[in-house]
Chain A
Amino acid sequence: MTPSALVIRSLIVGFIVSLAVITGFAYTTLFERRILARLQSRVGPNRAGYLPLPARGGKGERRLLGGIMQPAADAVKLFFKEDSTPVQVDKVVYNLAPMLAVIPAILILAVIPWAGEITIFGQEFTPYFAIAPGVNVGVLFILAITSIGVYGVALGGWASNSKYAVLGGIRTAAQMVSYELALGFSLLPPIMLANSMDLGVIVAEQKGLWFVFVQPIAAIIFYIAALAELQRSPFDLLEAEQELSSGFNVEYAGMRFGMFFMAEYMKMISLSAITVVLFFGGYQGPFVDQVPALGFVYMILKIVASLFIMIWVRASLPRFRYDQLMKFGWKVMLPVALANFVVTGVVIILAEEGIIF
């Protein structure tokens, strides 16, 4: 395959995957609202749109999937809201920040393998199906891009020229720096086990045994650090309603606020996907060798499960205090991740030398 054909194919796949994930983002908001409501003994949005079904016994109708059009209603509302710009903001940065937040969230998807070797419409995707398959520094790419994500939030807070917003932005920056380390160290064991930074290779290595069973501590730390990276509850200090009213996005309205919202949920999806890829076997599952398309199904099911846990945690746990957050990040997460990483390295070398196992 020529390089130009490869580029065109990547563009097409990237377009489709991005659209799919944006739709996924819309329905993640609905999923979160419905699940959160059920966890709190409520019903959640169930009015906007439904699939009518004939009722049992033929009278009236049953309503299936009530609220299915809620994301569309939300989007329409956000688009038609007045998008006012406060007078004293730094206009360029203020407008740039939401985009800086969204773009990295979408960029992460580039290296995520969605299925194994597969042929779709005569196109053969080897060695696996991704927007950019075979990137041999995939994990590094993810770390780099997630770090850029903090700029959107921090600059949004700064450019708003508001005390609440700038406090939210500063908190984000501090929190990201603290948890990025634990995140990085918990990423290393899967890389060492697979002996590659290519996400496809990491998934292929998990064919027999998912890395979560080999590296449970790394998986837990990665998941907690990912929650902190997402600024989701219980790490949602940057938008602590009680203290900062809404934090970094308090001066934003309309679709620019919607883009921050979108960035948060896109990152939820992409970090869930990374968790699945690194620790939960990615697209691996029963019969995936015979029917490669099942890879998409397994991947999506695992991502939905991960999203459910994030929502579940949000409904259950109170927010960290700022000093608790720092203490937990630096005094618990980082040492445990570091120890886990060292022990894993030693054990791998001992195993390679034939001393144990």
Chain B
Amino acid sequence: MFGEILRGLGTTLKYMLRPPVTVQYPDVKRPVRHRFKGRHALKRYDNGLEKCIGCALCAAACPADAIFVEASENTDDERYSPGERFASTYEINMLRCIFCGYCEDACPTQAIVLEKDYELSFYDRASAIYTREMLLDPVPESGADTPQQTPPGVFTRSIPDMEDPR
């Protein structure tokens, strides 16, 4: 019996002499995997127009019913997206979201992408709802912020081409 006890004691002592496996989280952050699904982001084209055309297919695909989209019409004077409409309201309730990525798959313009940010915490339920402004990517250097004034007759398709519009 005592031999086994000593062997057990030896095992724990051996582990004491090894460095701990703990990752000191707020100081040290482990890189996430390539296909990690974290917080969503609404993408923009290179000229700053939003990719989202407000079709609400993401909301339809969402199994947790976490996404709410309200679309409005684009005009050439106030253009948000190259399509016919844009998302004037885009809300994701992060308390409902299960980070399955179906919204990403459903999106016809690849506007919504699940990014790498996983530090989602809030003090109340209201702040769990991420709005369009919080989700939108920053304006790229090559483009301007929306709404943009665009020449008439350029953006005529209700669903734009996939590549960046000129």
Contact = CB atoms under 8 A, between A and B. Distances in A.
Contacts of B8: 316-317
Given A317-B5, A317-B8, A43 B20 contact: yes
Nearest to B17: A38
Interface residues of B, number: 13
Contacts of A217: none
Given A39-B15, A39-B16, A313 B22 contact: no
Contacts of B20: 37-38, 41-43
A314 to B, nearest CB: 10
B121 interface: no
Interface in A300-324: 312-313, 315-317
Given A316-B8, A317-B5, A317-B8, A39 B22 contact: no
A40 B8 CA distance: 13
B9 A316 contact: yes
Nearest to B13: A312
B162 interface: no
A146 to B, nearest CB: 25
Given A312-B9, A316-B9, A317-B8, A41 B24 contact: no
B125 interface: no
B18 A41 contact: yes
A41 B15 CA distance: 6
Nearest to A35: B16
Contacts of A317: 5, 8-9
Interface string B13-29: 10110101110100000
- Most chain B CB within a 10 A radius of its CB, from A312, A316, A317: A316
Contact of A43 (B11, B16, B22): B22
Nearest to B24: A43
- Most chain A CB within a 10 A radius of its CB, from B5, B8, B12, B16: B12
Contacts of A312: 9, 12-13
Nearest to B8: A316
A119 B139 CA distance: 77
Contacts of B18: 41
B24 A316 contact: no
Nearest to A313: B9
A315 B18 CA distance: 15
A167 B12 CA distance: 31
A102 B13 CA distance: 32
Contacts of A35: 16
Contacts of A41: 15, 18, 20-22
Given A316-B8, A317-B5, A39 B24 contact: no
Contacts of A37: 20
A42 B12 contact: no
B45 to A, nearest CB: 41
A42 B22 CA distance: 6
Interface in A27-54: 35, 37-43
B16 A38 contact: yes
Contacts of B9: 312-313, 316-317
Nearest to B11: A316
B19 to A, nearest CB: 8
Interface of B: 5, 8-9, 11-13, 15-16, 18, 20-22, 24
The 5 closest A-B pairs by CB, nearest first: A43-B22, A316-B12, A316-B8, A39-B12, A38-B16
Given A313-B9, A316-B9, A317-B9, 19 more contacts: A35-B16, A39-B13, A39-B15, A40-B15, A41-B15, A41-B20, A41-B21, A42-B20, A42-B21, A43-B20, A43-B22, A43-B24, A312-B9, A312-B13, A315-B12, A316-B5, A316-B11, A316-B12, A317-B5
27 contacts: A35-B16, A37-B20, A38-B15, A38-B16, A38-B20, A39-B12, A39-B13, A39-B15, A39-B16, A40-B12, A40-B15, A41-B15, A41-B21, A41-B22, A42-B20, A42-B21, A43-B22, A43-B24, A312-B12, A312-B13, A313-B9, A315-B12, A316-B5, A316-B8, A316-B12, A317-B5, A317-B8
